[in-house]
Amino acid sequence: MAKPLVAFYWCASCGGCEESIVDLAEDLLKVVDAVEFKLFPVAMDFKYSDVEALPDKALAVSFINGAIRTEEQEHIAKLLRQKSQLVVAYGTCAHLGGIPGLANVANRKEIFETAYKNTASTVNPKGIYPQTVTETKYGKLKLPEIYDSVQTLDQTIDVDYYLPGCAPPPDLIMNAINAILEGKLPPKGAVLTSEKALCETCERNKSKPDKLAIKDIKRISEVKADPEKCFLAEGIICMGPATRGGCGERCINANMPCRGCFGPTREVKDMGARFLSGLASIIDVEDEAEIEKIAQSIIDPIGLFYMYSLPSSIINRKQGV
Partner 1 sequence: MRILTCNCHGLIKFPELNLGPDVKIEQYDNLCKLKPEIGADEKVVIAGCSPNLLEGIFPNTNAEFVNLLEHVTLVNHSLEKAKGLIVAAVEKMKQTPSVKTKVFDIKNKSALVIGGGIAGIEVATQLSKNGLSVKLIEKTPFLGGTVAKLDRLYPEGTPYSHTLMPLINKLQAYDNVAQLFNTEVTDVKGRVGDYKIKLKTNPRGVVQCINCGKCVDVCPVEINDDGKKRKAIYYVPTFPDMYAIDFEACTKCGECVKVCPGKIDLEQTIKETDIESGAIVVATGLNWYDVSKVQEYGYARLDGVMKTLEFERAIASGALQPNKVAIVYCAGSRDSKHLPYCSKICCLLGLKEAKLVKDRFPGAEVYIIAMDMRSYGTFEYLYNTLREKGVSFIKGKPSEINRRNGNLVVKTEDLFTNELLEIEVDTVVLSSGFVADAATFDQFNIKLNGDFPVLFENAGLGNYELPRGIFTAGAATFPSGVAETLVDARKASFSTLDLLSRDKIETKIPQAVVDEDQCSVCRMCIGTCPYNAISVVDDKIKINEELCMGCGICAITCPSYASQLEGWNHSGLYEQVRSLVKKGDVLAIMCRWSAYNATERVAHDKLKYPENVKIVRVPCTGAVDPSHIMLALQKGAKGVLIGGCYPDGCHYARGNFRAKAREQILKLHLDSLGMDKDMVRLEWIGKDEAHKFVEIVQEMNR
What does the binding site for partner 1 look like in residue numbers (CB under 8 A)?
105, 195-200, 205, 208-213, 232, 240-242, 245, 264-270, 272-286, 288, 291-292, 294-296, 298, 300-302, 305, 313-315, 317-321
Distance of alpha carbon 109 from alpha carbon 103, whole angstroms: 11
Per the DSSP assignment, residues forming a β-bridge with 88 are 63, 161
Dihedral sign of CA atoms 98, 104, 106, 109 in order: positive
Residue closer to partner 1 (CB basis): 5 or 197: 197
Residue closer to partner 1 (CB basis): 43 or 321: 321
Question: Which is nearest to 307 in space by CA: 268, 245, 236, 257?
Answer: 257
Nearest distance in Å: CB 204, partner 1: 11
Nearest distance in Å: CB 188, partner 1: 19
Residue closer to partner 1 (CB basis): 17 or 279: 279
Nearest distance in Å: CB 81, partner 1: 26
Residue closer to partner 1 (CB basis): 173 or 202: 202
Nearest distance in Å: CB 266, partner 1: 7
Sequence-distant (6+) residues with CB within 8 A of 193 are: 163, 164, 165, 172, 244, 245, 246, 247, 262
Q: How many CB atoms lie within 10 A of CB 220?
A: 16
Nearest distance in Å: CB 166, partner 1: 19
Nearest distance in Å: CB 96, partner 1: 15
Distance of alpha carbon 292 from alpha carbon 38, whole angstroms: 56
Residue closer to partner 1 (CB basis): 135 or 288: 288
Distance of alpha carbon 148 from alpha carbon 57, whole angstroms: 31
Residue closer to partner 1 (CB basis): 23 or 113: 113
Residue closer to partner 1 (CB basis): 63 or 275: 275
Is the peptide bond preceding residue 167 cis, with omega within 30 degrees of 0?
Answer: yes
Distances (CA, A) of 69 to 153, 233, 306, 307, 311: 10, 38, 18, 17, 11
Nearest distance in Å: CB 91, partner 1: 22
Distance of alpha carbon 99 from alpha carbon 93, whole angstroms: 7
Name the helix (H) or strand (E) containing 52. Answer: helix 48-52
The answer to whether 90 touches 62, Cβ cutoff 8 Å, is no
Nearest distance in Å: CB 155, partner 1: 14
Dihedral sign of CA atoms 79, 85, 90, 96 in order: positive
Nearest distance in Å: CB 69, partner 1: 19
Residue closer to partner 1 (CB basis): 220 or 276: 276
Residue closer to partner 1 (CB basis): 31 or 285: 285
Distance of alpha carbon 101 from alpha carbon 24, whole angstroms: 27
